[in-house]
Copies of this chain bind each other. A is one copy, B any other.
Amino acid sequence: MIKPRLFTPGPTDVPPEVLIEMAKPIFHHRTERFRKMLAAVNASLKKLLMTGNDVLTLAGSGTCGMEAAIACAVPRDRKVLVANGGKFGERWGKVARAYGLDVDEVKLQWGTALEPETVRQKLSSGDYGAVVVVHSETSTATACDLQAIGEVVAGTDAILLADCITSAGALPLRTDEWHVDVVAAGSQKAFMLPPGLAFVAVSEKAWKNVESIKAPAFYLDLAAYRKALAGNDMPYTAPVSLIRGLKVSLEMIHEVGIEKIWTRTACLARATRAAAEALGMKVFSQRPSDSVTAILYPQGVGDEFRKQLREKYGCSVAGGQDELKGRAFRVSHMGYVDPLDALGLIAAVEYTLADLGVQVHLGAGVTAAMEVLKDWQ
């Protein structure tokens, strides 16, 4: 049998322990049992995101969480700086405009990241109420220096909203220490869960905005989630199965330790980049994220690569979007993936390249990756 293996940068593989937990019978959410579970989950999420503030859990995708933050926390009468370095940065500009905000979009070349210096210059030259960045841009597999950007924004009265959907739980992220006012994350990435939950952490500075803004929002009203969470509850029908799965996955994550997971994820990413190089392929990004890697196809290879990789070797990876369409494939290093998975994928990549007529020294990529992964622990 060919085993299906998921290396897409969301959704990612879910451990059997979590799948089994989610298969258990439904119970009602307006109960002490549910409130106890949500309290535990909230504590676990705070630990993961390294924040003293509550982490709101919404039933929805990552976009749902980011939109709630933009809708509720971005001041209406001032400009909002949005970094657009890929599909997701572009999306947050669209969302901000949908709420009638005055968007100043910094268009970045794909594969580059927003520079802290750019933020400093912008904020000192105009009246900005908020800065929206993507910590790890999934479409280009590029990470920005969120810590440095946080430092810049913290010196102003603007707030920093970070799309951490493809970074939380994978890349170093210290929400409070780095002064990130809003962190939005999604369940289907490093949280080892199916899609369906968004997480939003909000600083005191950002909550002040929420309190003063009358947002055209009901389901996405962060204040409603905060109010409910004060009683360990959710304002609308809670996705009970996903949350019980989340409780288990967070326990698994904390058993390893979040900082250790960052190190491991980075090691998987380095190994994958080393393999790509050893196979004569180029990593697309100039500032590669460690949670996802975009690799440019060699000359003469296109998206038939992904089809062959999936159909013959069982490995699903993502393709390129927009300007990377048909030019690259993207591999996740998030969540429930270990070195043997990563090596297996690299072997499958080698076979697929050979199948498509690319000259490959079978084993060269795996050997390069093994050298890096010997430090994984």
Contacts and interface: CB of A to CB of B under 8 A. Distances in A.
A11 to B, nearest CB: 16
B336 A313 contact: no
A23 B23 CA distance: 10
A366 interface: yes
B367 A371 contact: no
A196 interface: no
A343 interface: yes
Interface stretch (A50-58, A157-165, A171-179, A346-354): A346-354
A200 B268 CA distance: 47
A15 interface: yes
Nearest to A192: B1
Interface size class of A (residues with CB under 8 A): 20 to 34
A371 B338 CA distance: 24
Given A252-B1, A362-B370, A374-B354, A341 B344 contact: yes
A321 to B, nearest CB: 27
A339 interface: yes
B367 A363 contact: yes
A180 to B, nearest CB: 26
A340 interface: yes
A343 B354 CA distance: 17
Contacts of A351: 370, 374
A2 interface: yes
A3 interface: yes
Interface in A214-263: 252, 256
B367 A362 contact: yes
A366 B340 contact: no
Copies per complex of this chain: 2
Given A362-B371, A370-B363, A374-B362, A343 B347 contact: yes
Contacts of A192: 1
Contacts of A366: 343, 347, 363, 366-367, 370
Nearest to A355: B374
A48 to B, nearest CB: 15
Contact of A2 (B338, B347, B350, B363): B338
Given A1-B15, A351-B374, A366-B370, A314 B340 contact: yes
Contacts of A344: 340-341, 343-344
A368 B15 CA distance: 31
Given A252-B1, A366-B367, A340 B354 contact: no
A5 interface: yes
Contacts of A345: 340
Task: Specify which of A345, A354, A370 lies most central, judged by the most chain B CB atoms within 10 Å of its CB.
Answer: A370
A252 to B, nearest CB: 6
5 contacts: A1-B252, A3-B338, A343-B347, A347-B366, A362-B367
